[in-house]
Amino acid sequence: MNVFNKSYAIILMMILTLLCVTAVFSNGNDTLHSQVNDFHVFLPIVRTPEPPPDTITLVEYIAPLPGDTITVITHAGDNRIFIATQKGRISIIDPDPSGLSGTVREIPFMHIGGRIEVSFEEGLLGLAFDPDFEESGYFYVAYSEKRTNPTDGGDLILARFKVRFDNPQSGDPNSEVRLLAIPKTYVENQGDSRVHNAGDLHFGPDGYLYMSVGDGGPDPGQVFARPADIANNGQRRDVLLGKVLRLDVRDLDPNGVAPDCNGLEGEVPYTIPSDNPMIDGPGGMCDEIWSRGWRNPWRFSFDRVTGDMYVGDVGEERYEEINRETPGNPGLNYGWACYEGPVLLNQNCQSSYVFPNYMYNHDDGSCSIIGGYVYRGREYATLTGQYVFTDFCSRNVWRLPTPQLNNPVTLAAGASLPAWTTIGEDFGGELYFGSYGSGRVFKLTVP
């Protein structure tokens, strides 16, 4: 082929390419692909990722349940949404096809209000379904035990329940088997404290059941001239208060050890994973402990992609804290009540502490963090990987990028929003907010 023919061929190739590109742009395709006389051209489009959202809309999802507080929003491995209320009711929400609303079934999944003590921080506090729930029918509940009198009792109970044999759409309140009974801090002239229970429940990516437990109180305002955490429960290793616990309720570890500090007589249906950090046999340190140094880790969650644990620890007078724990880090000490955030409270403390990944003060009217979730849903790609959380008092909703947890963005100002008590996640990873006192549930959407 001579030079003229080579030049002609090159020009022809360029014209054909231009025609292909023009044709695809006119059709609005994402990949430039056309065919002219069996000649194919592929030119990928490089797009700049869209930034995370600066605002959200919270859409009311169900008809309210007046006079009750939503404490848990979760799922059982399917499309049903389960909500638990402070007064002991567990209900099923059936999502509508629109995805923006749902219907609460008229008959509760289970109601155990008669055995629960209800006060500002007491009630039904945690709910988690066995990863094998479809086969086992087991689910786990944390609640405050009904007091025998105004000053005694109120133990934090962890119990296992099972669905009814004749109706798997309903839990059997008579199937209760207790795993833990954790006594509360005794306060002179007042009795057993009613605050700082926590009680959140989640199965971790390792298949074990994790439970958050507050320091047992009381608040300093209840006991004048005494420091916070008067029994030093957060730092003690011989009590379960002020801890995150880790239990094997599924017989996963053939080398698991016997229960240690469960507070009950007789056999209980769990063992302790052999790699828990404080295993020393009966007595001494409580083998159930996974981490310590918590004040009131009211809500925590696991990132379903990375397995990281995110804990929202309610502060005292200065700071609200978010702590991120990567998998495989047992025995960490998060500092309470030696520290609140970066502030040293006790000069006599001697240990190695993990300080918060993120904290905020009370200058904007905040007072009590409601820990949230790393968004991993499918509906709002720009929110993926953002940790979403809120505060009971300011009611603001924020996001933080993970894993950095810095540069917060206010997604919704709290002035017109209800007081939030919990954030939950459905099977698909979409997020929901539950309210205090009004029994309202909202779904997070991005405009």
Task: Give the residue-averaged pLDDT of 64-75.
Answer: 96
pLDDT in tens, 306-326: 999 999 999 998 999 999 999
Q: Per-residue pLDDT for 4 more than 50? A: no
Residue 256 · residue 246 · CB < 8 Å: no
Confidence at residue 303, expressed as pLDDT on a 0 to 100 scale: 98
How many angstroms separate the CA atoms of 392 and 370, rounded?
7
Residues 169-185 as b/e (b if ≥16 CB within 10 A, e otherwise) read: ebbebebeebbbbbbbb
Per the DSSP assignment, residues forming a β-bridge with 374 are: 387
Non-local (6+) Cβ contacts of 82 within 8 A are: 72, 73, 74, 75, 76, 90, 91, 92, 93, 109, 127, 129
Confidence at residue 44, expressed as pLDDT on a 0 to 100 scale: 57
Confidence at residue 344, expressed as pLDDT on a 0 to 100 scale: 92
Confidence at residue 185, expressed as pLDDT on a 0 to 100 scale: 80
Confidence at residue 226, expressed as pLDDT on a 0 to 100 scale: 56
Burial group, residue 437, by CB count within 10 angstroms (0-12, 13-18, 19+): middle
How many angstroms separate the CA atoms of 35 and 223, rounded?
81
Confidence at residue 47, expressed as pLDDT on a 0 to 100 scale: 67
How many angstroms separate the CA atoms of 286 and 50, rounded?
48
Q: 208-222, 375-389, 428-442: which has the minimum mean pLDDT?
A: 208-222
Where residue 30 falls among pLDDT bands split at 50, 70, 90? Answer: very low
How many angstroms separate the CA atoms of 64 and 392, rounded?
19
Q: Per-residue pLDDT for 12 more than 50? A: no
Name the token pair of 71.
Answer: 């404490």
Non-local (6+) Cβ contacts of 72 within 8 A are: 82, 83, 84, 124, 125, 126, 127, 422, 424, 434
Q: 79-93, 144-158, 229-243, 291-305: which has the minimum mean pLDDT?
A: 144-158
Q: Per-residue pLDDT for 63 more than 80? A: yes
Where residue 271 falls among pLDDT bands split at 50, 70, 90? Answer: very high
* Domain 57-445 grouped into CATH 2.120.10.30: yes
The residue type of 229 is: D
Where residue 137 falls among pLDDT bands split at 50, 70, 90? Answer: very high
Where residue 17 falls among pLDDT bands split at 50, 70, 90? Answer: very low
Cα first-last separation, the chain: 60
**Which of 237, 331, 322 has its CA nearest to residue 285?**
237
How many angstroms separate the CA atoms of 442 and 380, rounded?
16
pLDDT in tens, 276-298: 999 998 889 999 999 999 999 99
Q: Per-residue pLDDT for 118 more than 70? A: yes
Residue 41 · residue 34 · CB < 8 Å: yes
pTM for this prediction: 0.89
Across the beta sheet with 386-391, what order do the strands follow?
Answer: 369-374, 386-391, 397-401, 409-412
Where residue 43 falls among pLDDT bands split at 50, 70, 90? Answer: low
**High-pLDDT (> 90) share of the chain, %:** 79
Per the DSSP assignment, residues forming a β-bridge with 152 are: 149
Task: Give the residue-averaged pLDDT of 349-374.
Answer: 95
Q: Per-residue pLDDT for 268 more than 60? A: yes
Non-local (6+) Cβ contacts of 86 within 8 A are: 68, 69, 70, 71, 118, 123, 124, 125
Q: Per-residue pLDDT for 390 more than 80? A: yes
Task: Give the residue-averaged pLDDT of 22-33.
Answer: 40
348 or 87, which is more confident? Answer: 87
Q: In whole numbers, what is the pLDDT of the chain averaged over residues?
A: 89
Task: Give the residue-averaged pLDDT of 40-53.
Answer: 70
Q: Per-residue pLDDT for 411 more than 60? A: yes
Residue 198 · residue 219 · CB < 8 Å: no
pLDDT in tens, 214-234: 999 887 765 444 567 989 999
Name the token pair of 244.
Answer: 């995150």
Where residue 32 falls among pLDDT bands split at 50, 70, 90? Answer: very low
* C-alpha 304: how far from chain center: 11
Q: Per-residue pLDDT for 211 more than 80? A: yes
Q: Per-residue pLDDT for 9 more than 50? A: no
Q: Per-residue pLDDT for 128 more than 70? A: yes
pLDDT in tens, 186-201: 777 667 888 999 999 9
222 or 103, which is more confident? Answer: 103
Task: Give the residue-averaged pLDDT of 240-251.
Answer: 98
- Rama region for 393: left / alpha / beta (φ>0; ψ in -120 to 50; rest): alpha
Where residue 10 falls among pLDDT bands split at 50, 70, 90? Answer: very low
Confidence at residue 227, expressed as pLDDT on a 0 to 100 scale: 65
- E-only strand ranges, 274-317: 289-292, 299-302, 309-313
Q: Per-residue pLDDT for 7 more than 50? A: no
How many angstroms separate the CA atoms of 258 and 269, rounded?
10
Confidence at residue 48, expressed as pLDDT on a 0 to 100 scale: 75
Task: Give the residue-averaged pLDDT of 350-357.
Answer: 92
Confidence at residue 46, expressed as pLDDT on a 0 to 100 scale: 62
How many angstroms separate the CA atoms of 437 and 90, rounded?
16
Residues 233-257 as b/e (b if ≥16 CB within 10 A, e otherwise) read: bbbbbebbbbbbbbbbbbeebeebb
Non-local (6+) Cβ contacts of 227 within 8 A are: 220, 337, 345, 346
Alpha-helical regions (H) of 2-62: 3-27
Domain boundaries, the chain: 3-44, 57-445
Three-state secondary-structure class, residue 3: helix
How many angstroms separate the CA atoms of 101 and 438, rounded?
17
